[in-house]
Structure 1
């Protein structure tokens, strides 16, 4: 009898263990993932497709090349490795096994690295191209995450990218808001999705969309549903639901000539590193709109001191100054742009000057080049208010992109079947 009880207990315990493991596995499968921020010694992460002009969150066709660059300021020629994971529309891990979405292998060392040359700040520059001889092809479209690990398998940082198939057309129209209270401050994205040879089944459930302004996924609009159809075309003509604050043109500086000032660099000082002091900025909220050509938050590494900008560009401490006469009421002002993938953290916080009233300052260690940036506000509740410092205008020139996901009835993952582009330069009523 005792042996029987012991046997039953063992079976029950094993069964309980299996259920627990299954539950944990299911929980991990359904958990949304976020990008991991790099440590302080990793700088200038450039991530772009072969047809992209600037770094950001790449949205590439399934046959396009993906490129990653970054600098390691330890300059120790460390060994780093990459892995790739596939995700659903909502950034939960997909059910696909690795050999279903990759042809070849990952968990491969980064072999392409070089040390900086004649720079005051030493660094090791790393590069990775995908596909390559090890990771030969992306088999399916969808959301992906690229993970970079050190030799101890500690995660260094991760970055999202999106692979799409060109199966449908996506046509965008940028309009002013129909809400009279914000008609001069907001831009609305209307769009249509379809192609004669592509038939949507149950689009209310199978089609999902993401609308992105200036490659900034922190302000993106997710999962709008089609309002009606015309033949094979899905129509999205929302107003409030697909509206963005127009913002203002980005500010900029260019320190490709590291030794002297430019139109935006007031002066340069040389200590252990070069220091680029920018002319003071001011609050633009409430002022009339002024067109200022920008690259919509992006940055471009450049130097006139060397022929190889990847390893001959200097690092400089860039000093920002904002003349601020607005009451912050416990909120925070931050620097904002693609230079750190639109992240707000302690490094982007503008702090009160110790010597001057109503002056906020900050300094960032940045590689030489042309940078866009603006100032944004986080109130004491953590709410993001982009126009608090810069203002909002309906005629601001902004880039927009719509990404279309499709999971057919019975399918196991979300495909990206098309993407479309638009610009607010020629906004209409």
Structure 2
């Protein structure tokens, strides 16, 4: 009898721990292979950073294609998170207006394409879903009204501007990195905020080209000057400049563009790109890019949301490295910079790396990431090069947790571009 009670007690403890276990941080992810071409941006400008002002008229647009050909029911909701993308300890009623979820009712079927698909789209905030407070939100799309059947997640930033931010970009203070790195110095003026301890109540997250995986969280300022927090220590916010992204253009599939070698049309579209070289060279070369973004476009149609076609894109890379050294991956905003089986390249007996991806017509930026067998760490400069002159965007986000509050507010945002310096 005692043994039974003891086992029951252990089971209760295990269930309690499981219930309060921390949910892993949310990121931009697609959970179904048939979901393609996910776009999420401030509606004012395609491919822009998905940040909107709290209580304003701005919206973000979510669009994606479902290649399954089936009739499906998709719902969506928003969940408030802290600066590290862990769920806040708030109920939906505390951070959402109106309803807690809604159905995706705006969809259209593809027209005149080899690849059949259904395009879904929604703008947020809307009458049914709207954030009530500032902060980080994860947008979740799921099937059949079941939140466990996730289709995709996107990160949304809702800012209630309560601080002013000034920043500048310079060369690295480290002599050995001056030809490769870009250093960001910035000040935050929190006049008007009820800040008791500025070293713990406020923190700032800095990203290069909207890439959280290479971002830097600033938990403490270098020093405080009145109501200004100054972040300019020689050892912080020093980013590899990296290189301009590679690109290709498939706005039309009737003729070859700059980077296209051949186009085949049969029961599907096949596009063979020119081979890519290793770009880790001594000197920087100026190339136009779109900072890792992509745009869905079709010069031969009227509405690329429904008449842009898909093509099997064939990439090949002369990395001057073999599979005994490591593995090459292809990444960009089009695949959320994910290093997985879908982005991994295959090595052939000719000494080249290759892969094919099913992508919708448009203009795409991409780059190659190398993962060494020795270190097991991703390196996006080994095959691309690293230069101070590279044009980059930086997104600076300022978070504030009031003493005793149960959530973090997003109180400041600034977009920096090296081209404007």
What's the TM-score once normalised by structure 1's chain length?
A: 0.91
- Aligned to 2:166, which of 171, 178, 187? 171
Deviation at 1:133, TM superposition (A): 2.1
Structure 1 residues 325 and 21: CA distance shift in structure 2, 3 A:
closer
Q: Give the distance between the partners of 1:319 and 1:239, measured in 2 at CA.
A: 43
- Aligned to 1:343, which of 338, 346, 350? 338
CA deviation profile, 1:160-179 (whole Å, cap 9, x unmatched): 22211111111121111111
Structure 1 residues 350 and 21: CA distance shift in structure 2, 3 A:
closer
Q: Give the distance between the partners of 1:50 and 1:201, measured in 2 at CA.
A: 37
Structure 2: segments with no counterpart, 5+ residues: none
- Match for residue 205 of structure 1? 200
Q: Is the 8 A contact 1:42 1:72 kept in 2?
A: yes
- Aligned to 1:148, which of 137, 141, 153? 141
- Aligned to 1:132, which of 115, 126, 134? 126
2:378 is equivalent to residue 384 of structure 1 = yes
- Aligned to 1:372, which of 365, 369, 390? 365
- Aligned to 1:256, which of 251, 259, 267? 251
2:20 match: secondary structure: helix
Deviation at 1:17, TM superposition (A): 7.8
Q: Is the 8 A contact 1:214 1:400 kept in 2?
A: yes
- Aligned to 2:412, which of 392, 408, 418? 418
Deviation at 1:42, TM superposition (A): 0.5
Q: Give the distance between the partners of 1:287 and 1:297, measured in 2 at CA.
A: 22
Q: Give the distance between the partners of 2:250 and 2:186, measured in 1 at CA.
A: 39
2:304 is equivalent to residue 312 of structure 1 = no
Q: Is the 8 A contact 1:171 1:421 kept in 2?
A: no
Indicate the larger mover: 74-83 or 118-127.
74-83
- Match for residue 43 of structure 2? 50
Q: Is the 8 A contact 1:276 1:318 kept in 2?
A: yes
2:389 match: secondary structure: coil
Q: Give the distance between the partners of 2:324 and 2:171, measured in 1 at CA.
A: 31
Shift >6 Å, 4+ stretches: 12-19
Q: Is the 8 A contact 2:75 2:145 kept in 1?
A: no
Instruction: Report 1:145-294 matches (<5 A).
Output: 145-151=138-144, 153=146, 154-198=149-193, 200-294=195-289
- Report the structure number with the largest CA radius of gyration: 1
CA deviation profile, 1:166-199 (whole Å, cap 9, x unmatched): 1111112111111111111111111111154345
Q: Give the distance between the partners of 1:32 and 1:264, measured in 2 at CA.
A: 38
- Match for residue 25 of structure 1? 19
Q: Give the distance between the partners of 1:345 and 1:14, measured in 2 at CA.
A: 41
Deviation at 1:418, TM superposition (A): 0.4
Q: Give the distance between the partners of 1:35 and 1:310, measured in 2 at CA.
A: 21
Q: Is the 8 A contact 1:336 1:348 kept in 2?
A: yes
Indicate the larger mover: 169-178 or 117-126.
169-178
Q: Is the 8 A contact 1:193 1:233 kept in 2?
A: yes
CA deviation profile, 1:178-236 (whole Å, cap 9, x unmatched): 11111111111111111543453201111111100001111111234111122211100
- Aligned to 2:76, which of 75, 82, 86? 82
The count of aligned residue pairs is 415
1:335 match: secondary structure: strand
Structure 1 residues 279 and 329: CA distance shift in structure 2, 3 A:
same
CA deviation profile, 1:315-354 (whole Å, cap 9, x unmatched): 0111111122235644111111101111111121121235
1:247 match: secondary structure: coil
2:334 match: secondary structure: helix
2:19 match: secondary structure: helix
Q: Is the 8 A contact 2:92 2:100 kept in 1?
A: no
Q: Is the 8 A contact 1:185 1:245 kept in 2?
A: yes
- Match for residue 96 of structure 2? 102
Q: Give the distance between the partners of 1:262 and 1:123, measured in 2 at CA.
A: 25
1:311 match: secondary structure: helix
- Aligned to 1:60, which of 52, 56, 61? 52
Q: Give the distance between the partners of 2:15 and 2:368, measured in 1 at CA.
A: 47
1:181 match: secondary structure: helix
